[in-house]
Amino acid sequence: MNNKHIQEGLVKIIVPEFDKVSAKAPVFYNPAMELNRDLSILALQKFQMDLGEDINVCDAFGGSGIRGIRYSKEISGVSKVVVNDISPLAVKFTKENANLNEVENLEISQTDANMALRERRGEFDVVDIDPFGTPSYFIDSVANSLKSDSLLCITATDTSALCGTYKEPCIRKYNAVPLKTEYCHENGIRILAGFVAMTFAKYKKSVLIKFSHSSEHYMRIYFQIQKGAKEADESLKNMGFIIHCRKCLFRQTINGLAPHIPDKCPECGEKTRVGGPLWLGHIQDSDFLEGMIGLSEEKELNKEKQLLKLLNRCLEESKMPATYYDLHVVCKKLKISSPSILDVMEMLENEGFLVSRTHYRPTGIKTDASLTKIEEIIENLNPD
């Protein structure tokens, strides 16, 4: 077996040669996830600094070991990193890679992630869940395992389910109905977050979202965990539904797990579609994001430019309401050509509305203005 040498951050690793990135590779390594790992370095460092103590980290799906080894080498205040993987070959390469990088505080484990998390309940300040496809099979174990003031990082790559390309898998895996709309990636994040919040509530634990993003083929959420039945009940108040009208693009959030949901669009009378239950609370935390942005200067990250663009967009979005409008979709409905997004945003701002762009789509606008107001502004800007 020939090996491939890889350099990422402050770390060098070897993995068996592979033709294309896939779950079938002998040991999994995806160069497209470097941005994800770079962002994780900043998020874990920010979390460690806020906690003010050294942290124990569990990389429950280690693969080549790249993530855990980077956490060990590039984050200060880490007492131990446990890198776990079910695959004997992944564990063999993780050992070699740990030696290659001379990491001292790394423990390597080979078991099913559910077992590792349950057996080591209460041991970790940070758990990273980065499986193939859906993380849903592991959420009960991590909910059982995590203690108060801990950080949970979750990656999901089954975006077709979360975004509603395939409805049934989303219902099966996340117990929620997806909405295939122009803002489906944000909905996907909210469905995953809602599923995590509901699962943690069973264990009398609450979640708060520090940072989330949808990039390329995956979604990633960072949750802060607290213990307490009352806090869990409180956090479930963030659950609800979104109704969407395909004809006129009207959408509305409705809080609650058994709310009254109108089946007709209040604007045009068309039958509405319903998505949820999902998380309607904040999905970005501006202080946490500002902290991550500040820390980026101190770290050697190859993806710094891309990462700063993403973090700054997420920061802009952090105070905005749920969902966004796509300028091109609204213009298609109005049957007019699209004005500049910056002009539309400026007009909305001049009229006193909250407005921002969004990292989900270059043509997306987040605002508290009504759709009627947005359409009026677009029409006024139209030269035809």
**Site residues, ligand SAM (CB under 6 A):** 28-29, 33, 37, 61-64, 66-67, 84-87, 90, 112-113, 130-132
Cβ-based nearer residue to ligand SAM, 112 or 349 = 112
Residue with smaller CB distance to ligand SAM, 15 or 365: 15
Q: How far is the CB of 52 from ligand SAM (least distance, A)?
A: 27
Burial class (CB in 10 A: 0-12, 13-18, 19+), 242: buried
Give 28 or 222: the residue with its C-beta nearer to ligand SAM: 28
Distances, alpha carbon 323 to alpha carbons 67, 331, 371, in Å: 32, 17, 12
In the complex, the smallest distance separating the C-beta of residue 347 from ligand SAM, rounded to whole angstroms, is 43
C-alpha atoms less than 13 angstroms from C-alpha of 165 in its C-beta half-sphere: 5
CA nearest neighbour of 39 among 229, 302, 326 = 302
- Work out how close the CB of 48 gets to ligand SAM at its nearest, in angstroms, rounded to a whole number: 19
CB of 24 to ligand SAM, least distance (A): 11
The distance from CA 207 to its chain's CA centroid, rounded to whole angstroms, is: 14
**61/250 with CB nearer ligand SAM:** 61
Shortest Å, Cβ 163 to ligand SAM: 19
Task: Please report, as a single letter, which amino acid is at residue 187.
Answer: N
CB of 21 to ligand SAM, least distance (A): 10
CB of 25 to ligand SAM, least distance (A): 9
Residue 66 CB, nearest distance to ligand SAM (Å)?
5
CB nearer to ligand SAM: pick between 132 and 217: 132
Per-residue b/e over 346-374, b at no fewer than 16 CB within 10 Å?
ebbeeeebebbbbbbbebbbbbebebeeb
Q: What is the largest CA-CA distance in the chain?
A: 67
For ligand SAM, the closer of residues 8 and 186 by Cβ is: 8
> Distance between CA 314 and CA 212 in Å, rounded?
8
Q: Whose Cβ is closer to ligand SAM: residue 35's or residue 369's?
A: 35
Smallest separation, CB 35 to ligand SAM (Å): 11
User: Nearer Cβ to ligand SAM, position 131 or 275?
Assistant: 131
Smaller CB separation from ligand SAM, 90 or 283: 90
